[in-house]
């Protein structure tokens, strides 16, 4: 009698059982994919959504598996935009510039450049999120073809509608498969954001709750003021630092990132206006500005923005008792120096007395060492006929203590170096 195999009695059930188990597996996968969102402060996500709202192309830089694609998927869902993903590295240049199609009479009508199907779908929808993935692995010829798409939003004979936003992603060359440096013309068309993981966000997200991406709320009444502020900030810096208008980095790797040019300064101006109208945090604005013109010019611009918010020295001298001094030490130091400089330019006894009143208030409300240099300079501006105000006595102790502390710190540093 032939021996039966263990599977002989279940052959007739294999099909239905397998199908049922696949259905159960599908239910489990659906449960794993199911997640919720919550309002949560996320500087990266806020910077990304602000740039998307400003209709500027964004390039997310990050290591593989860091969550760039997941962030874009969640962003598209939150903004109710269809996500169209195009892997740049697997396409030919003609896929972005258009494929030539011979018509009935090329001599009369020319040869039209037919766009790819995904571009046609975006134009028909009128809105969407175009995600250009693996940008750093696209060869130079493909990058060149992408220039017109990113800047002019044209693919073949089609023009993407205003409702379409463009976001790209790239891995650093060190971790990209057969990676290329981005060409300077293409890199200068993007707002570059370094995408890193936040431990708390990842853990909570794996638990089923991710941060919610929301477009910034723009205050309609602030729009004219925001535009004026942005123009004044950028034009003021470039007037004082003309060398920053256009500065192409010398190294190839830095040319593939953010650097200052008239185009990137125009994007920066737009971002400052949007951030001002939305009341965005300084951290968000810092990411965007440095991601557009680079760290050096970006930090200079941020410093100039701080100075733009400083009180007018003449206003403080007119009302020294009611004027408000900045809380931050470096800004307070700048204000006190500006006040003393204003007295130096127009030395008058009431202005000199008002400056001393401000220095006393600075000692009473902040670090005393900030008044040492301004007080010393202000004292040298005294005329012989000017009486010394009583407020100087209130400063004498603080200045002396501060100088002694500096002397002790200097001696300690010298002693430490001598003991090595």
* DSSP result, 152-190: H-EETTEE--TEEEEEEEE--TTTSTT--PPPHHHHTTS
Q: Do 182 and 74 share a structural domain?
A: yes
DSSP state of 222: G
Q: Does residue 227 register a pLDDT over 80?
A: yes
| % of the chain at pLDDT higher than 90 | 38
Q: What are φ and ψ of residue 99, in 5° steps?
A: -90, 130
Residues 168 and 256 sit within 8 Å (Cβ to Cβ): no
- Beta-strand relationship, 158-159 and 154-155: antiparallel
Residues 134-151 pLDDT 10s: 888 888 888 888 998 998
Q: Does residue 402 register a pLDDT over 60?
A: no
Q: Which residues fall within 8 angstroms of residue 401, CB to CB, at 6 or more apart? A: 368
Residues 53-67 pLDDT 10s: 999 999 999 888 888
The model carries a pTM of 0.75
Q: How confident is the model at residue 248 (pLDDT cuts 50, 70, 90)?
A: very high
- Residue 262 tokens, joined: 């008239």
Domain annotation covers residue 12: no
Q: Do 344 and 258 share a structural domain?
A: no
In the listed set 256, 280, 308, which residue is the last one of a domain according to the structure?
A: 308
CATH code, domain with 49: 3.40.50.300
Domain annotation covers residue 28: no
Residues 183 and 140 sit within 8 Å (Cβ to Cβ): yes
Which residue has 């089923």 as its token pair?
Answer: 208
Number of independent structural domains in the chain: 3
The CA distance from 79 to 48, in Å, is 12
- Structural domain span for residue 364: 313-418
In the listed set 267, 284, 308, which residue is the last one of a domain according to the structure?
A: 308
- Beta-strand relationship, 58-61 and 191-194: parallel
Q: Which residues fall within 8 angstroms of residue 58, CB to CB, at 6 or more apart? A: 48, 51, 52, 166, 167, 168, 190, 191, 193
In the listed set 283, 308, 333, which residue is the last one of a domain according to the structure?
A: 308
Domain annotation covers residue 158: yes
Residues 3-53 pLDDT 10s: 555 545 555 555 677 778 888 999 999 999 888 888 888 899 999 999 999
Q: Do 365 and 323 share a structural domain?
A: yes
Residues 91 and 135 sit within 8 Å (Cβ to Cβ): no
Domain annotation covers residue 64: yes
């Amino acid at each position: 009698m032939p021996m039966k195999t263990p599977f002989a009695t279940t052959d007739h059930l294999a099909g239905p059982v397998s199908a049922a188990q696949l259905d159960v597996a599908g239910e489990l996968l659906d449960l794993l994919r199911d997640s919720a969102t919550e309002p949560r402060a996320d500087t990266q996500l806020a910077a990304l959504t602000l740039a998307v709202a400003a209709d500027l192309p964004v390039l997310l830089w990050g290591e593989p598996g860091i969550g760039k694609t997941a962030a874009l998927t969640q962003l598209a869902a939150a903004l109710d935009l269809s996500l169209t993903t195009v892997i740049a590295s697997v396409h030919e240049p003609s896929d972005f510039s258009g494929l030539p199609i011979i018509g009935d009479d090329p001599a009369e009508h020319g040869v039209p450049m037919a766009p790819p199907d995904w571009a046609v779908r975006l134009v028909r929808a009128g809105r969407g999120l175009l995600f250009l993935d693996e940008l750093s692995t696209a060869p130079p010829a493909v990058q060149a073809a992408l220039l017109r798409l990113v800047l002019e939003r044209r693919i073949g004979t089609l023009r993407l509608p205003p409702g379409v936003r463009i976001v790209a992603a790239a891995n650093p060359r060190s971790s990209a498969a057969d990676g290329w440096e981005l060409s300077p013309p293409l890199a200068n068309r993007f707002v570059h954001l370094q995408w890193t993981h936040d431990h708390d966000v990842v853990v909570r997200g794996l638990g089923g709750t991710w941060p919610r991406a929301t477009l910034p709320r723009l205050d309609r009444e602030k729009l004219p003021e925001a535009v004026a502020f942005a123009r004044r900030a950028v034009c003021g810096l470039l007037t004082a630092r003309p060398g920053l208008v256009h500065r192409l980095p010398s190294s190839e790797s830095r040319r593939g990132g953010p650097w200052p040019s008239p185009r990137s300064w125009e994007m920066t101006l737009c971002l400052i206006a949007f951030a001002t109208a939305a009341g965005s945090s300084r951290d968000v604005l810092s990411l965007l500005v440095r991601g557009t013109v680079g760290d050096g010019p970006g930090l200079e611009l941020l410093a100039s923005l701080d100075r733009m918010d400083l009180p007018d020295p003449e206003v403080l001298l007119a009302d020294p008792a009611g004027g408000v001094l900045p809380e931050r030490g470096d800004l307070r130091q700048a204000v006190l120096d500006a006040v003393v400089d204003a007295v130096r330019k127009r030395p008058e006894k009431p202005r000199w007395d008002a400056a001393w009143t401000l220095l006393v208030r600075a000692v009473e409300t902040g670090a005393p060492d900030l008044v040492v240099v301004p007080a010393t300079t202000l004292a040298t501006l005294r005329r012989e006929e000017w009486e010394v105000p009583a407020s100087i006595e209130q400063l004498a102790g603080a200045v002396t203590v501060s100088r002694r502390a500096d002397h002790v710190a200097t001696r300690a540093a010298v002693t430490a170096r001598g003991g090595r």
